Amino acid sequence: NAPEANNVSAAELAVALMLNAARGVARSDGLVRKGVWDRKFLGREVKGARLGIVGLGRIGSLVARRAQGLGMEVMAFDPYISRQRAQDMGVELVDVLKEMLVKSDFVTVHTPLTNETKGMIGADELACLPTGAVVVNAARGGIIQEDALVDALKSNKLFAAGLDVFVLGPPSVDHPLLQLDNVVLTAHLGAN
């Protein structure tokens, strides 16, 4: 039994999804493979951006450290973490999720799926984000409401998303998230 054995892998995947979504790596890769050399695509820089972490436990705290190493300002929403622990990590702890979201250029989720967290990020929460934000979920499917995420991506409210998990995995080939080129997808690889 090694419950923390895959924490680093999960944190690294979350950061990889964030960077890939922000820089449009998958979009550019797809175009280059089709013979399209589009150098005009503008990605998002993470340096100086504000990252909101939902869940500052073992994995969330590892993501925070890596994000700080990239020059990001880090905030977190986690009602179970003490202010002192967050302060020791150099993370601003926010008491209300929506207060963090309005200030977050990037959001990443690191909570278990429980009755409390199921669907906790829906249309209202996504609407709080600044236009052009990037959302990452490498935790559990169902924490972010998929229909609301699709709508926010299609309307260009969000710049992009990075997802390792779905409500039902694997998703069907006609799943709306698989039809969007501003979503980076992996097959629940966080623990690998």
pLDDT value for 189: 79
| Residue range 178-191, pLDDT digits in tens | 999 999 999 887 76
Sign of CA dihedral 118, 10, 75, 88: positive
Q: For residue 93, what are its two tokens?
A: 């702890």
pLDDT value for 84: 96
pLDDT value for 139: 93
pTM recorded for the entire structure: 0.93
- Preceding omega of 170 cis (within 30 degrees of 0): yes
Within the chain, which residues score under 50 in pLDDT? none
Residue length, the chain?
Answer: 192
190, 9 contact by CB (below 8 A): yes
pLDDT value for 192: 64
pLDDT value for 42: 78
pLDDT value for 5: 63
Helix extents (H) in the chain: 7-23, 25-33, 58-69, 83-89, 97-101, 123-128, 146-154
